[in-house]
Amino acid sequence: MTEAGTLKLDVLAALCKRRGFIFPNSEIYGGINGFWDYGPLGSELKRNIREAWWQDVVRRRDDVVGIDTAIIMHPKVWEASGHVAGFADPMVDCKSCKKRYRADNLCEDQGQELVRTDTGFVLPAGISCPACGSKDLTEPRAFNLMFESNTGPVKDDSSRVYLRPETAQGIFVQFDNVLATARQKIPFGIAQVGKAFRNEINPRNYTFRSREFEQMELEFFIKPGTDTEWHKYWVEERLKWYTSIGLPSSSLHLDVHPKEKLAHYASACTDVMYDFPFGRQELEGIAARGCFDLTQHAKFSGKPLNYFDQETNENFVPHVIEPSAGVDRIALALLCNAYREEWVPKGKDDSGSAGAILAEPGKPVPEAHEPRTVMRFHPRVAPVKVAVFPLLKNKPELVAKARGIFEDLRTDWSCFWDVTGAIGRRYRRQDEAGTPYCVTVDFDTLSADTVTVRDRDSMKQERIAVSELHDLMRERLR
Ligand code: ATP
C-alpha cells in the first residue's frame, strides 16, 4: 500500500484526520474549499520541515541570512513584480453545468496541452467537462490569483492591497536594508519562510493545491555571468536536502524547463518533482531569474538596488537564483511516503520486521496476523520522537519512574506520554503517529534500572540501562 499510485488519498486523509495531522478548515461549518488546518501531529511535522530547511539553508551556512516580512506590502510591489498584470491562470467554464476549471490542468488531464497564442490561450479540440461530459466550454480567459483586501476604513481603489502570492518579493524590496546590516558580500542569499495566498481556480489533490499555503524561499544573489554554475549548485543542494528528510531518490525527479517555456528574464528553471499517488508533481522550483526583480523594483520605487564590489570597483545589479519550496507540499509528500499498511503476527509485538508482511489491498488478513498502519517518517521530521509508557497506570512507583524518564527526554525531543490501554495498543497508536521509538517502564526498571526501547519499523525491543537512554536516543535520532 505504499507504492506510489496504490495509496489512495482518501485513505491517507482518513488517517490524517483520525490521528490529528490534517483537518478540513472550519469543518463544523462544512469546511471551505482550498483551506486546511494542521492538528497536533501535523503542526509538529510542518515545524520540523521548516526547522530542517532553516537549519540547512540559513544557520549552517555563512552566506545566507534570514528575514521575516509582512504578508501585506505596498501595492506597487505587485505592479513592479508583474503580478497585478500577469499573475493569472487561464480559466474555462462549462456552459452546460457551470463548473469552472483551470484550462491548462483540464487539457493535461485529458492528455492534451493548452494552446498558447500571442494574445492568450485556446482550448484544443475535443476537451470536455469532467463533471457532465459536455464539450460546450467557454474560451479560456485570464483569472488573477491574488486575494484582495483594503487597508483602513475606506474601501475603494486607493486602499486596495493584496495578500502576498509569494514570499519572495519581501526579500527583494528589503535587499538594500539587509545588505547594509548583514555584512554580506555577493554571492549571498536572503531566506524567508511564511504564508502565501493564491485564489486557485481548482484547489485539488488534498492539500497539494491550496489557497493558503506556506513557502520557504531563498533568493541567492550572484554576480552576473555566474548564473549557470550557481543554478546547477542549488539544484544539486536542494535535491540532496529532500533525501535528508527521508524522501527516497527513486521518487524524486528533476524537470528541466525547455528554454522556450522560460519567462523572458529567466535563463533556467528546474523543478524538483515527487511521485505522488496522483502523479509526478512539483515540490519546488529553482529558477535563475537574472536581475529582473531588483531592476523592476528600482524602476518602480526610484531607488537604485545595486551592489558595489569593493574588490573590483564594479557596480552592478545582482542576478538571482531562486529555490522556492512549499511546506504543505513537502508535508504531503512525507505523509504519502511514510504511509504503510502491514500484516503482523498477532500478539507478538517484539517479533521484528521479519514477521511483518506488506498488506495487499483487498485481500483478507492472513491467519494469526493482524493489520498495522505505520507512518515511517525519517526521525528528522517525525512529529513525536519518543513515547514513554509506564506498563501499568495504577502502580504509582512505575508511573513516577516513567514520568522522570519522560521529563528528562522531553528536554531535548518532542515526546509523548501515554498511560492508557494495553501496551500493544499504545505501540499501534504511536505507529500511526510515526513515532520512531517507544520506551516502556516495567517492574525490571524498578529493580534493574533498565527500560525496553521498541523500534517502530522493525518492532524489535531491546533492554537498555536508563543511564544510557539519553545517549542512545541522541545517536539514533540524529
Ligand atoms: P503550480 O504550477 O503547481 O501552480 P507554481 O509553479 O506556480 O506551481 P511557484 O510559483 O513556483 O509554483 O511556487 C513555488 C512553490 O510554492 C511550489 O513549488 C509549491 O511547492 C508551492 N506552491 C505554489 N502554489 C501552491 C498552492 N496553491 N498550494 C500549495 N503549495 C503551493
Shared domain for 243 and 311, answered yes or no, is yes
Shared domain for 179 and 322, answered yes or no, is yes
Atom from ligand 1 closest to the CA of residue 203: 27
Domain end call among 336, 371, 403: 336
Select from 38, 50, 257, 282 the residue to mutate for testing ligand 1; criterion: most ligand atoms less than 8 Å from CB.
282
Give which of 367, 358, 347, 337 is closest to 245, Cα–Cα. Answer: 337
pLDDT category, 362, cuts 50, 70, 90? confident
Separation of 326 CA from ligand 1 center, angstroms? 7
Say what the pLDDT of residue 387 is.
98
Say what the pLDDT of residue 17 is.
97
Select from 329, 332, 334 the residue to mutate for testing ligand 1; criterion: most ligand atoms less than 8 Å from CB.
329
Range of the domain at 98: 88-144
Shared domain for 465 and 327, answered yes or no, is no
What pLDDT, in 10s, does the model give residues 67-120? 999 999 999 999 999 999 988 889 999 999 999 999 999 999 999 999 888 778
Shared domain for 371 and 280, answered yes or no, is no
Q: Which protein residue's CA is at the shortest distance from atom 23 of ligand 1?
A: 326
pLDDT category, 353, cuts 50, 70, 90? low
Separation of 324 CA from ligand 1 center, angstroms? 8
Residue ranges lining ligand 1, Cβ < 6 Å: 166, 198, 200, 209-210, 213, 215, 282-285, 324-326, 328-329
Shared domain for 62 and 179, answered yes or no, is yes
Q: Does 357 score more than 90 pLDDT?
A: no
Residue 234 falls inside a structural domain: yes
Residue 417 falls inside a structural domain: yes
Q: Does 448 score more than 80 pLDDT?
A: yes
3-state SS assignment for residue 335: helix
Atom from ligand 1 closest to the CA of residue 215: 16
Q: What whole-number distance in Å separates Cα of residue 106 and Cα of residue 311?
A: 53
Mean pLDDT, all residues of the chain: 94
Shared domain for 107 and 203, answered yes or no, is no
Domain count for the chain, please give it: 3
Shared domain for 131 and 63, answered yes or no, is no
Domain with 308 in it: what CATH number?
3.30.930.10
Residue 276 falls inside a structural domain: yes
Residue 61 falls inside a structural domain: yes
Residue 157 falls inside a structural domain: no
Say what the pLDDT of residue 437 is.
98
Shared domain for 64 and 97, answered yes or no, is no
How crowded is the C-beta side of 78, counted as CA atoms within 13 Å?
Answer: 24
Shared domain for 44 and 174, answered yes or no, is yes
Q: Which protein residue's CA is at the shortest distance from atom 2 of ligand 1?
A: 282
Q: Does 349 score more than 80 pLDDT?
A: no
Shared domain for 168 and 261, answered yes or no, is yes
Shared domain for 215 and 248, answered yes or no, is yes
- Mean pLDDT score, 135-163: 94
Shared domain for 22 and 57, answered yes or no, is yes
Residues 6+ apart with CB under 8 A from 168: 192, 215, 217, 219, 293, 322, 324
- Mean pLDDT score, 411-435: 96
What predicted TM-score, i.e. pTM, was given to this entire model?
Answer: 0.94
Separation of 471 CA from ligand 1 center, angstroms? 40
Residue 196 falls inside a structural domain: yes
Q: Does 4 score more than 60 pLDDT?
A: no
- Mean pLDDT score, 186-203: 96
Domain with 421 in it: what CATH number?
3.40.50.800
Q: Which protein residue's CA is at the shortest distance from atom 6 of ligand 1?
A: 285
